[in-house]
Amino acid sequence: MSSSGAKKLWGGRFSGATDPLMEAFNESIHFDRRMFAADIRGSQAYAKALLKQGILTADEQQTLDAGLQAVQKEWEANTFELKSGDEDIHTANERRLGELVGAVAGKLHTGRSRNDQVATDMRLWLRTEVERLHSYLRSLVGALVERASTDIDVLMPGYTHLQRAQPIRWSHLLLSYAFWFQQDAQRFEQFLPRVSQLPLGAGALAGNPFQVDRTWLAQELEFDSVAPNSLYATSDRDFVAEFLFHASLVMVHVSRLAEDLIIYSSAEFGFVKLADAYSTGSSLMPQKKNPDSLELLRGKCGRVFGSMSGFMMTYKGLPSTYNKDMQEDKEPMFDAVDTLSGSLQITAAVISTLKVNAERMKGSLTSDMLATDLAEYLVRKGVPFRETHHISGAAVKMAEDKSCQISDLSVQDLQSLHPMFEDDVLLIWDFERSVDNRSSIGGTSRVTVQAQIDQLTQWLN
């Protein structure tokens, strides 16, 4: 057994040395160091709260504040020197503060535990990151809306079961994703008040014996509310679980968009072409242009979902309040933030630089996709839809038997299926007309697609 010789925050109870392997296993500084600014901000506020309670003098509080500012500048300048025994960001900051200001640094932790400290740091850090991710979601919605506005006259096949179904506007498809990402942004907005709940002042579990003003602390740190129960305050990680769920759902939407674009960019479809900046080639086949950006986006969905499911398995079996298992809450959160951040920015860039082959999309429209319009023609003549559905199906079968397109059937052919077909039935073989007939709210007509663009533009503004 050996020990670093550094004085540990919890070392007074122990006389034996710690196994170096255990020291490495126990430490979290290599990943939680990224919360240095949140940790320092929380400590500065807590020092002011101790001043209010007479635990610190004004001079002591000012000394601590100046020392903490100096520590933060070292982190920002990448000159902070980690030392043996800096097991986490709290220990490292307090150790360095002591080196800078002396014994008064030992007063900072009065009534405070790393249990309420780390929960505060995480909430402060995540709150800022969620606000940043929210801005990336808005940018992605903006890219989709701009693209939809530019390409509003482009028609394409709409698919169900990956089979051609009905003609739609390309913009209509883009906007379906825009509304998903808008909901993702709204979920983050609704989530923020639950993140913004102050644990600081809860102590290790039982509360603070020096009656620090937690309401004042919440205001100082810009929290919306104070965690109402100290046991709950130190052990709650629902905000991590909820964030990981929201992040997973965002990535599901990213993955589905990526999957559509991967399919549409293939030679078999040729509807879209990715910019070179977001594609790569093959090490063997020189003709290849691979949609690697989209494939990575699709793959990273599994990564974020894995973070969520892994954390939930850790979280589910914990007794109340803080347990060391909860050290496993940070890496999934950090990784999900990083993955989401890169994914949203890449997705927006792919959309903005995509080239659309409008002629190829239009050329993929076939008249059998208007079979429903044929049924609707008879509905407008008063024939029940269930009957017209069968009649239209019979027309499809007739065209197959004649080895022709359904639009090539004559009026007489159609009249052999139902007497209410007239010469004006030939007008339905028009894709623009079909699309613009879908003019109820949310439909694919030009008017309703423009209304969707306007709705999202108003939200963005």
Active site residue 196: no
Tell me, what DSSP letter sits at residue 174? H
Q: At 338, list the tokens.
A: 């990083």
CA distance 75 to 220: 23
Specify whether the CB–CB gap between 461 and 184 falls below 8 A. Answer: no
- Which residue stretches of 168-267 are H helix? 170-195, 214-220, 230-235, 238-264
Instruction: Report whether 233 contacts 202 (CB < 8 A).
Output: yes
Which one from 161, 283, 403, 440 is the annotated catalytic residue? 161
How far apart CA 230 and CA 217 sit, in angstroms, is 15
Q: Which run of H or E residues covers position 452?
A: helix 446-460
Q: Report phi then psi at 42, rounded to 5.
A: -65, -40
Question: Does the annotation count 282 as an active-site position?
Answer: yes
Handedness of CA 115, 119, 125, 126 (dihedral sign): positive
**What is d(CA 366, CA 364) in angstroms, rounded to the nearest whole number?**
6
Block residue for tokens 């929380």: 42
Give me the residues paired with residue 172 across strands. Answer: none
Query: 102's torsion region: left (phi>0), alpha (psi -120 to 50) or beta?
Result: left
| CB distance 144 to 177 below 8 Å | yes
Contact status, residue 339 vs residue 331, Cβ threshold 8 Å: no
Which of 282, 309, 320, 410 is an active site residue?
282
CB 233 within 8 A of CB 227: yes
Q: Show which residues are catalytic.
A: 161, 282
